[in-house]
Structure 1
């Protein structure tokens, strides 16, 4: 069964609760002032790159991020197979970057698409589905 956009949104919020402290920890370890401005390079290495690694790594290795796991969701290819590293990269890095650029329109697309696919799902040929049972 295809996951609702609302459940996907809640899963994303859970992932954000995991990533926020990680980003703060990286800033502290790098000696960056928590209250001061950051450079584009600092943002990339302390927030962008770890976020991409988190999403792509969990999706490729487990088929879901911790947020998706908590909500009983997983990412699969259109044929139902597991997502490989290239598909995870295309979905989580390339696709989500493009989904976010035009004011998040690519994410909102899931609310209107018949299979609840956002742009990053369409780019990578993936679906987010409700977990049917335990993984083999």
Structure 2
């Protein structure tokens, strides 16, 4: 397996955002939430929880979100085994929350780490691999 670049991971994250944003807006609108001024509880209920569910479910079941699938990358444990539910939760909820809190430093870390692991990867003992090109 080849380590995925932080840039490829960033593009996959942006693709996932393009998928999630309209869904979150739709769910908030159907829930009667004032989209211009949601309360913290509404934001948590209609934004954070569905987003966490999206990332945990796709990572646990497929090893990749739709954005990662499109970019040909996936999350695996550092030993190469597939990610389980607890690992997906630790990475996507706990780890990413800690990665974003200090001004996103946990994400930037991937640009300098030898295996391109961000803090959430280190916390969950995972890394992001890309499909290798077939050899000619």
Normalising TM by the smaller chain, what interval?
Answer: over 0.9
Structure 1 length as normaliser, TM-score? 0.95
SS at match of 1:127: strand
Q: How many positions carry a matched residue from both structures? A: 132
SS at match of 1:34: coil
Q: Map Cα deviations across residues 4-44 of structure 1 (whole Å, 9 max, x no partner).
A: 00000000000000000011011111011223x11110001
Q: Which residue of 2 aligns with 1:23?
A: 24
Separation in 2 of the partners of 1:81 and 1:70?
21
Structure 2 length as normaliser, TM-score? 0.95
Aligned pairs for 1:90-101 within 5 A: 90-101=90-101
What stretches of structure 1 move > 4 A for 4+ residues in a row?
A: none
Q: Which residue of 2 aligns with 1:50?
A: 50
Q: Map Cα deviations across residues 44-76 of structure 1 (whole Å, 9 max, x no partner).
A: 110000000000000000000000000000000
SS at match of 1:31: coil
Unaligned runs of 5+ in 2: none
Q: Shift of the alpha carbon at 1:132?
A: 4.1
Unaligned runs of 5+ in 1: none
Q: Shift of the alpha carbon at 1:82?
A: 0.2
